Structure 1
C-alpha cells in the first residue's frame, strides 16, 4: 500500500500537506478526502475548484486559497494536465480530492521551471470541487 501525503483542514480550508517517508508512488493516485453530495463531474463540463499544488516533498507552487478566488476550466478534454482530467472526472461536487500526479500525467520531463516545478516532478494537489456547469 502506497502512502500518500495527508492534508490538514476540511473542504474550503487551505490545506497543509504532510509527506510520508519514502518517495512518491508510481502512477496516478486519487484519494477522496471528503465525499461531496453534489452532481457528478462529467468530461466536457466546466469544473469550478479551489486547489493547492505542491511538488512531492517540495514547495507549494500554486494555490487558489490565498487569491480568494476559484478557477474554472473544461475538464476531461485535455485543457489541463492529464492527472486532473483523469482524477477529477467522476467525482462529486463538494468533494475534496487529493491527487498524486507523476510526471507523465503532469508536466513531464520539462517541468515548469518558472513555477518552481522541476522536470520529472511528481505533483500533489488538494482540490475542492466547488461546482460544475
Structure 2
C-alpha cells in the first residue's frame, strides 16, 4: 500500500504548508498502510529469535553449537539488512524516486515470506507450555 501510494501522484496530499492538508481517503490509506507495516514488523521481529531457537535441540551438543551459530548469523544478517536499507535503498529513493525504494523493500519482504512459507514442512514447531501468568494467578 505504501509503494502504491508513493507511486500514484493522485494519492499524494496537496502542498499547502500546513500539517492538515491530507484529505480523508488519502490520509486513511496512508495511516492504514503505516499501521499494517508496523503490525507486520512487530510480529516478525518479536517472534523471529524464538522461532529460530526452537529449530535446535539444546540437549544435543551438535545442535547446541549450531544454536550459538544461528544467533551469530541472525545478528549479522540483521545488521547487513539494516546497512543495505540505510544505504542502498535510501540511495535508490533519492536518485530515482521514493516508490522505487518502497518497491525494493516490498520485493525483498515478499521473497522472505515465500522462503519462510516454503520451508514450513521442515520446521520444528513446539507446542506452547503452560503460561507463567496462569501459575501466578493460581497463587
Same fold (TM over 0.5): no
Q: Which has the higher helix share?
A: 2
Q: Which has the higher contact order (CA 8 A, sep 6+)?
A: 1
Q: Smaller-chain TM-score range?
A: under 0.3
TM normalised by structure 2 equals 0.21
Q: Which has the higher strand share?
A: 1
TM normalised by structure 1 equals 0.22
